[in-house]
Structure 1
């Protein structure tokens, strides 16, 4: 079950580069454009959750990132009180407390100190007032990898939002390592111990994405903000990439998708399946022919592009390389760190993912092509190879 997170769990002592209780503020690509975030609980009262033996309605948590107005302000830190506050660009905890404690526990036997994840902060304003009309901001949906929390992709989501997008990041309950609700309840992930469980998860995840799109329009909390859900893109990492393709097969509101280093489980494995809308396959470089990827390529019948990131690992397509650097893990791992995290540093990997997702979104939603999507990528990221297009 813990295969994704477990890539980082190696026997070594890990110590923070900062003092205990000192906030570690994660880097940002652009601190000029301000971003807000709301963590929202959603209940689908039209769908019973198969992971509860159909005894409870399906419950989700969603992080909604959005551009906000305001001028950057000086961060205020009261270290003695362990209280972090500010104004327009107030830092926000990277994870809520119980989730952070679960990640501490997961890494504890490998030397991560208790309280490490609660020391991580991001430059994003929690519960900032949402602009009254969001109709001019395109919507991007995100689905994480199996077991991984939505919070492990926070910097990717907020940097996309800084470029003028709304980003909805889902946690898929009973799939994520842990999902923390506002009332303090925790839902832990189940064991992913069979192919049937994976196939069920892809189906349920796709339904989750469609449900959240509905909620962004119809819920009393969000309906007044005029979010345009009819022209959106989606992307996902690992099983989230399969989720993206699956939901696109039946939900035409999603005009294009990006799969970050994932195998397309679910309906995309059927020989007669064809996905006719734009899609990018973006993964690690191959070490020879890959029959799965070749089959997937044939089932993408619309505009399509396959990209490879040189010297990447599976975790490169998340926040984990960045987190490993700020807590001092990469340095301690040495060469093993390159194998587990990829050789690109965390900020560079972040820049690449944000650039390609937003270039694709602009192309799909406005028709404006970017040199990044050309044969040579415009020369901006030489470590990204265009393998094929169609």
Structure 2
């Protein structure tokens, strides 16, 4: 995950920053996808490595990731059908991962500065993959957020008096992220209706629902 503050004290991840061959990020996503499958094999295989493995319901496994982890979610879902649903949180998706339609539920959650439809740049990667998402899907943007707003970094920065660059307070952005991620998993793994994912909510006005056809977010 790339993490920087204005004073430059925090370093960034190598594949996320700088002028690199885009295949590096593709390789990173594929390697993380392989890691996910390995962990699932270890936990749910015929000889699980964890004594509580029987508690795992193999029909209710999903994945969410932030930044490079979010980009790796699509790669993991392509590789492993045990993943029933996925969320990419503010992660530019690599080229060459999604080559055909993916029918399982998927959600993009990001910041407007990077992932507004029609903005070009990283948003183009979401637009490319969006067209191949053939199942339930959402494209949500959190206004006032920066890349780190979807983690505990901004709340910690707020407490330390460090300006993380976000307009939305860290505690609020983390609450919203957790709320929408939980709603997504409750809907697709537990089959619990989630009106929150159908349209904009007055409780969370910072969250905008995007339509690629009209390139609008409301």
Give the TM-score taking structure 1 as reference length. Answer: 0.47
The residue that corresponds to 1:276 in the other structure is 103
The residue that corresponds to 2:149 in the other structure is 316
Q: Is the 8 A contact 1:282 1:306 kept in 2?
A: yes
Query: Hey, what's the Cα distance between the residues in 1 that align with 2:53 and 2:43?
Result: 9
The residue that corresponds to 2:183 in the other structure is 359
Query: Hey, what's the Cα distance between the residues in 2 that align with 1:229 and 1:8?
Result: 40
1:8 aligns with 2:13: no
The residue that corresponds to 1:203 in the other structure is 30
Q: How many residues align?
A: 204
Q: CA deviation at 1:215?
A: 1.7
Which of the two has greater strand per residue? 1
Q: Is the 8 A contact 2:74 2:98 kept in 1?
A: no
Query: Hey, what's the Cα distance between the residues in 1 that align with 2:29 and 2:71?
Result: 7
1:1-390 correspondence runs (5 A): 4-5=2-3, 7-8=4-5, 10=7, 107=10, 147=13, 193-217=20-44, 218-268=47-97, 270=99, 273-285=100-112, 286=116, 288-290=118-120, 291-330=124-163, 337-338=164-165, 342-377=166-201, 379-388=202-211
Q: Is the 8 A contact 1:213 1:229 kept in 2?
A: no
RMSD between superposed Cα atoms in Å: 2.9
Query: Hey, what's the Cα distance between the residues in 1 that align with 2:24 and 2:118?
Result: 29
User: Any unmatched runs of 5+ in structure 1?
Assistant: 12-105, 109-145, 149-174, 177-190, 331-336
Query: Hey, what's the Cα distance between the residues in 2 that align with 1:326 and 1:386?
Result: 30
Q: CA deviation at 1:237?
A: 0.9
Give the TM-score taking structure 2 as reference length. Answer: 0.81
SS at the partner of 2:145? coil
User: Over alpha carbons, which structure has the higher Rg?
Assistant: 1
Which of the two has greater helix per residue? 2
